[in-house]
Amino acid sequence: VGLSGLLVLGYGGFYAIGAYTYALLNHYYGFGFWESLPLAGIVTAAFGFLLGFPVLRLRGDYLAIVTLGFGEIVRILLLNNTEITGGPNGISQIPKPTFFGLEFNRSVRDGGWDTFHNVFGLKYDPSDRIVFLYLVALLLVVLTLFVINRLLRMPLGRAWEALREDEIACRSLGLSPTRIKLTAFTISAAFAGFAGTL
């Protein structure tokens, strides 16, 4: 339910938008993981903002059903759009995140600088890539927790909590519930887009 009391079940669609944004930016424009990460968050936040306008007038189970439907619509659109997304096969050969341009492969791919193991004089171990991806995910989780804690201490975070506890009292304090819900929906969609890039 989250900080603002909204039951949103369509995060699978936002994850998919973030993942396909990264894949399309890499496949068609050659963007790397670190360049695509903020762009995927921005694109997903834009989708969350556009979906939030008509949807956030709903409450409770109705909101949950509509957002679940959004996730299903995104899935079907991505599966049926074979020219751009590859359909059921998806987009293949998306490069993994690198450490300042250094890849975690046995040898350098076309257009790559060098491998992590060659630069640091280490023996190649395929599990190093998994450890690196784990550390990247851990770094993004810590960064997410930091941003969320900062947001909670801001007036916006207090407005989310007020909205969750009592929407009528929130409105009587001069706060706009629609605007508060829209910011919560947009920010949460952006974080789902970040998660989708992983």
Which pLDDT score, from 0 to 100, does residue 111 have?
61
Q: What is the pLDDT of residues 132-186, one digit of tens each?
A: 888 889 999 999 999 999 999 999 888 888 888 888 888 888 888 888 889 988 9
Q: Above pLDDT 70, what percent of the chain?
A: 96
- What pLDDT, on the 0 to 100 scale, is given for residue 45? 96
Residue 38 has pLDDT above 90, yes or no: yes
Please state the length of the chain. Answer: 198
CB-hemisphere CA count at 13 Å for 100?
A: 3
Q: What is the mean pLDDT of the chain?
A: 86
pTM: 0.85
Residue 18: predicted pLDDT: 95
Q: What is the pLDDT of residues 107-136, one digit of tens each?
A: 766 666 677 777 777 777 778 778 888 888
| CA distances for 176 relative to 75, 169, 179, 188, angstroms | 32, 11, 5, 18
User: Taking the domains of the chain in order of start, what are their residue ranges?
Assistant: 11-197
| Residue of 64, 84, 82 lying closest to 72 (CA atoms) | 64
